[in-house]
Amino acid sequence: MNIKIPFVDLSKQHQLIKNQLENAIENVLDRGDFILGKALADFETAFATKSGAEYGVGVASGTDAIALGLRACGIKNGDEVILPANTFVATLIGVLRAGAKPIFVDCKPDTALIDLEAAQAVITTLTKAIIPVHLYGQMVSPKELLDFADTYKLLIFEDAAQAHLAQREGCHPGSVGIAAAFSFYPSKNLGAIGDGGMLVTQDPDVAKMMVKLRNYGASKKYFHTDYGTNSRLDTLQAAVLLQKLPYLSDWNRDRFNIAQQYDTELAFLKNYGIIPLENHSGDGHVYHLYVIKIDNSCPQTRETIQEKLAELGIQTGIHYPIPCHLQPAFSDLGYQAGDFPVSEKLSQQILSLPMYPGLSNNQVREVIAALGSIVTGVSGSESFPNAADSVASLQLS
């Protein structure tokens, strides 16, 4: 199948800085400091500063950033940790690996972010922390989080794997809770050329513990004070990320502008059951993903829409088709279908459209035109060149 518009295309951003990336990798090769090297230390400082935090500790993945990060923050076996059912399974696995008991809550239908009102109902004397997942590039409200955590005396541990340099109410991820976990999986807003992750924090004790936990629990070589593991962000990956970091704000702005175009030119399809998730963060939303809902009023099913878009060479994704509480691997947690109706409904409605820096205006229009043709039955790839023409054409039809 010929792919005209991929779901993600990293080639443009890499081509822009190819020489810088090659030089950075060559410098690491020349120095030979492949583990815990200079580029890692430089990147940890730079990324923490950009995130409004004091310390950064690079690890092997975003999952490790959650699992080790929770332990570094004092979460112990048997502690209850609240998290949304609507998240990638890494959030859940991180909680379980920390020895804690995950307590799921539902999400809000308009944003897909954690529902803090629902979270109030599950708090017990064992509840120690809440993990707000800053999903799809949009932060959970810092003010609401801080009020919630202060009321119930909980730690806020942010899952910011999809929200690099996002902003809301004057805060970045990493400046709200005790710590924030990031992923540098290649397709993230700031992506490595392999796996990687980081914990950022304001707390020197959390940072110190994290440094030990990622390196076999050693406070110094061959002296192991804690039960740690091997989870270190490779110096080569850090060198690549350090070169990309200065471009991140521009790439995020590009994503936001693409989302604005989607929002404007998809508006005519609202009456056909195509509804973008809401942005409550203004230009602080960094749109790791652009997600629409396909509700019951749509004349086509999500599966049909996705299939027909694929036939036209347009790739899409679904994030996420099965909520965490319904994943077979975690049935022993005791949850079942119907426990979190909003998350379950969203999992059957959502569709992620192509989104990446460098996606052109014409490509966005082609996606919208294809989607419009499929949903409305008005044929022709040029039927919906922009929002105004889209509305006019439908009024005349």
Look up tokens 């922390």; give the residue: 129
Write out the H or E segment, with its range, that includes residue 56. strand 55-59
What 3 state SS string does 74-95 have? CCCCCCEEEEECCCCHHHHHHH
Indicate the Cα dihedral angle 150, 153, 157, 160, nearest 10°.
Answer: -30
Indicate the Cα dihedral angle 236, 242, 244, 248, nearest 10°.
Answer: 140
Q: Which two tokens stand for residue 305?
A: 């829409």
- How far apart (Å, rounded) are the C-alpha atoms in residues 30 and 287? 37
In three-state secondary structure terms, 103 is strand
Look up tokens 């959502």; give the residue: 350
- How far apart (Å, rounded) are the C-alpha atoms in residues 209 and 71? 9
Residues written for the chain: 397
DSSP annotation of 137:
G
Name every residue whose Cβ is closer than 8 Å to that of residue 328 and which is 6 or more positions away in sequence.
none
Cα-Cα end-to-end distance for the chain: 33
Of the residues 50, 108, 128, 188, which is catalytic? 188
Is 188 noted as a catalytic residue in this protein? yes
- How far apart (Å, rounded) are the C-alpha atoms in residues 382 and 373? 9
DSSP letters spanning 160-196: -TT-TT--BTTB-TTSSSSEEEEE--TTSSS--SS--
Asked if 286 and 182 count as a contact pair (C-beta separation under 8 A), the reply is no
In three-state secondary structure terms, 209 is helix
Antiparallel, parallel or unpaired: β 155-159 and 179-183:
parallel
Asked if 249 and 46 count as a contact pair (C-beta separation under 8 A), the reply is no
Asked if 144 and 116 count as a contact pair (C-beta separation under 8 A), the reply is yes
Q: Active-site residues: which are they?
A: 188
